[in-house]
Every structure is written in C-alpha cells, then in structure tokens.
Amino acid sequence: MTTTRQAVPTRPRLPLDRATVRRARSLARKAGRPIVRLAQDHTTVSVERATLRMSGLGGADADGIPWSNRLLDAVRGDVGLEHGVCLPAYDALVRGEAADLAELAQKAAVGSVRFRLPEDRDRTRAASRARKEVGAGLRRIDARRRERERLITRHGDAPSTPWIYLIVATGDIHEDIPQAQAAARAGADVIAVIRSTGQSLLDYVPEGATREGYAGTYATQENFRLMRAALDESSRELGRYVRLTNYASGLCMPEIATLAGLERLDMMLNDSMYGILFRDINPLRTFIDQRFSRQVHARAGIIINTGEDNYLTTADAVDAAHTVTVSQLLNEYFAKEAGLEDWQLGLGHAFEIDPDLPDSFRLELAHALLARELFPDAPLKWMPPTRHMTGDIFRGYLLDAFFNLAGALTGQGILLVGMMTEAVVTPWLSDRDLALQNVRYVLNAAGRLGEDLHPAPDGFIAERARTVLDEAVDLLTAITDREQHPGGLLDAIADGTFGLMRRPADKGRGLDGVVRKAEGYLNPATTLLEEGR
C-alpha cells in the first residue's frame, strides 16, 4: 500500500556519538523483548472483544452494554478464554445455535446457548469460519486506508510541516463538530477530540452518539463516524485533507483501535506506559493490549501519538529529561515490533522547563533537537507548556510563542496548539483563533530558520543533549541489569522510574482481564495481522 509521509524540514544537526545512539537502541530492544514475549503468551478480554468487533459484532443491549461484552462474558463463563473467544463462538454458529454473532450474543446474554471447545473436524470448521469473518473485517479496514489515500490525492494535503494540531473537548459530539470545522477553517491540520474523563477506566466501549461527556466526548464508533464525515466536508471545502485524532488507550485500547480503523481515523494517542502511570491500569494488561492495538494501527495506516509529555507534568523537566528519551526509545521498539513504520511514530515530548530557570529556552532546544536527531524520520509530536502556566494570559501567550519557535527551529512534525488560557478556563473559540494566529506568525516569520542555525559542537546545547543521552543509556543499562531490576522493565515501572509513579505488575485495574494462552489458542485477527506485515 502507498503511504503519506511528512517531509521533515531542514534542521540544525547535533554532533551525537553514533555508537552511543546504537547502544541506546540496543538496550531498548533488550528491555522490550521480555514485554513482547509476555504479550505473545497472553491475551485479554479487550483483545478478544476487539476480534469480535472486527468480525462485525456491534450494538449494545438495553442497558448500554455492548454485545461484544455480553458474548465474551458468556464464553468465558462456560469455557474460559485460554483458547480465545473465536473457537467456542464460531463453533456455536457452525452448530446452528444462531445465524450470526449478533443473534448469538443476544442468546448468550439470556443463557439460552452454551459454549464448548470444539475438537477435530468441528474445530477446523469453527476456525475456518472465524478466519473468514475476521478477514472480512480487516479488508474493511484496508478499504478505509485506501479511501484516505484517495481523498488526500483528491483534496490535497496540509501544505507544510509541522501539522497544526488543535483540541476540541465539549463533551457533546454535536457541539464538537461545528467547533472542529471552525478550527479547520482557521488553519488546524489535525483535530483531536479529547476523550471524556474516566473513559479509559471503563471496560466497555459506550454505544452511539453521546452528548454528556465530562471534559471531553466519549470515544464511540458513532462519534468517530460523525466527526469523520464532518471533517470530510471540511476537506472538500478547504481543499486539503483534515486529519482526525482520538484515544486508543485504557482498558479498551484494542477495541477502540479497531473502531478507529473501521471509521478511518488518522491518528490515535497510543502510549506504551501512559495508562499504567497515570490511570493505574495494570502493566501486564496495558502491554498486551498495546501490542494488538498497534498491529491494528499499522494495518490501518494510522499515526500513533505517544505520551512522554505527561512525565514532565509530575517530574521536573530537566531532572527527568532522560526518562522521556528512554520512553521514546521503548515506544519506538514496541511500535516497530508491532509493524508500525517510522512515518507512523508521533513520539511525544514537551516544552515544560520552568521558564524562570536561566537558559531555559536553550535547554528546551537541546531536548527537542535530541529527539529530532534520534528519530529523524518520525513526525514527533511537540506539546506546549502546561505545568508552568500560571493564569497570566499575557505570559502564557509569550510562552506559547517560544514553544512555537522551538518547534519551528527543531523540525517537529506535529505541533499541538498552546492556549494562553491554559489553567484558567476551557478555551473559547476566540482563544483558539488567537492561539492559531500565534502559530501562524511564528511559523511564517521563522520560516526555514533552522537551516541557518548550527549548535557549536562543544556548546551549551550540544553538551546538554549529550548529557541527556548518556543519562538515558545509564537508565536503560540499569533497567536491563538483572541485579538492580530482576523483572526488567516491569520492576523499573514498579520502582517509580517514569513520572515518579510506582505501578507494580501485580496491581492496578484490569488485571483480572489478563489470560495466559493455552496450547491450541486461536485468534484469527492476530494471525492475519502478522501474516499481512
């Protein structure tokens, strides 16, 4: 399949030691491999429900509980999930218990069908039908990817990088739509619909169009469909394709990734550790769900955005800079292992150094250039200041201008628009318009200034970047040291290494949804996704 890649502007180059860079990546692989093996040996309730959704099972009962949850719970109650949900579910269909998965789920919800683990010929028939129906779902995702490419060709793409990324968050999808379209007319290239507070802790995906989210709008398939259709209208009007972002994280990460592929979203927030650290979701559940979700994103041509910026809201942006680099390297490894390409890696970092610190802007440039140098082909996602926004909107507007300048100078690929009213109110449309004016002014004025700036090899910026990289190598070395961390990365997370959050592997939400695979486990989605790479 063809893909759309961002052209990364010419930027200042940092004289990093290439052997140190190679060692950092090697250590990230060493730290990440046990996590991949863990994901390969386990499944979760959300992975299995995502497979049912890929097979075409949608809708919910009168209480709003999705039929995918009802069917999975019934299968788990009868035979467990060690062999996956598909064998028992499709065996029931082959036996004539129902005409399709929707009818089967309805019967299962009232206890009028029982499930078994089929053997011999029955197993072969069930596995064949499951592969056929899951494969049809993947072909629908493939078709939506091709549709995106056709629309980009027809309407044109954003004229340059960075892409301007702007948030909408009213709680009401029907209010989000006109705000998103207004933002696109004002110059936004990517519209992010913030998810309702607490949705990541729901172990089901709400159904239908929603109007009552808190500090955001629920991520549902219908909400995805409505916003995608609205932005397609804007794309036709503006003569450029407007991208849509949402969140594939939390307890339903694989399901939301699947719905995003089916409804042609373009970017999804999908970080390896965000849910662990900031939502207390069990580490095992998160890493297993994440691998499947990234396989779906890879197939759908979706760009992921990672959440390293969040570390700097709880830890000092200077002292903890190396933890951001470590997380970026781990995210890169996990993403590529799942099939994502460089152009799909919106690795996160942020402009969060205390502005009262001497040389704060030089430090920000050092950190931003380090990320750009380590990941030259990735569309890095550059996040604006939040922690040190005081409510003084004039100071905030100035800080955002410095943030925009740093992004322009260092060739960031995705620039989230900073709001001068951060920490004061939810932004008005007028606030967004002023913020976009700030972005446009800086990008127009700075132009390709990065071509003319070259940090001195032994100067402040280059030395700071090397220091952060060396500290990142030291931390990765410690994570992979069996004496310091016998459990590797899981022990490091439990120790509070990232964002100062301590998250043990045997604690956290969603652990009861983790299942070790038995011999003979079957999931056609996983098989087809890996075969299609």
Catalytic residues: 274, 309, 381
Q: Please, are residues 216 and 169 in contact by the beta-carbon 8 Å criterion? A: yes
Residue 12 backbone class (left: φ over 0; alpha: ψ -120 to 50; beta: rest) = beta
3-state secondary structure 152-220: HHHHCCCCCCCEEEEEECCCCHHHHHHHHHHHHHCCCCEEEECECCCHHHCCCCCCCCCCCCCCCECCC
Q: Which two tokens stand for residue 121?
A: 């010929």
Q: How many CB atoms lie within 10 A of CB 2?
A: 10
Comparing CA positions, the residue from 9, 32, 5 lying closest to residue 372 is 9
Asked if residue 164 lies in contact with residue 188, where contact means CB atoms within 8 angstroms, the answer is yes
Pair of tokens at residue 263? 């409804």
- The CA–CA distances, whole Å, from 175 to 86, 169, 211, 238 equal 39, 9, 8, 20
Pairing of strands 42-44, 514-516: antiparallel
- Strands of 348-350's sheet, edge to edge? 345-346, 303-305, 267-269, 243-247, 190-193, 163-168, 414-416, 381-383, 348-350
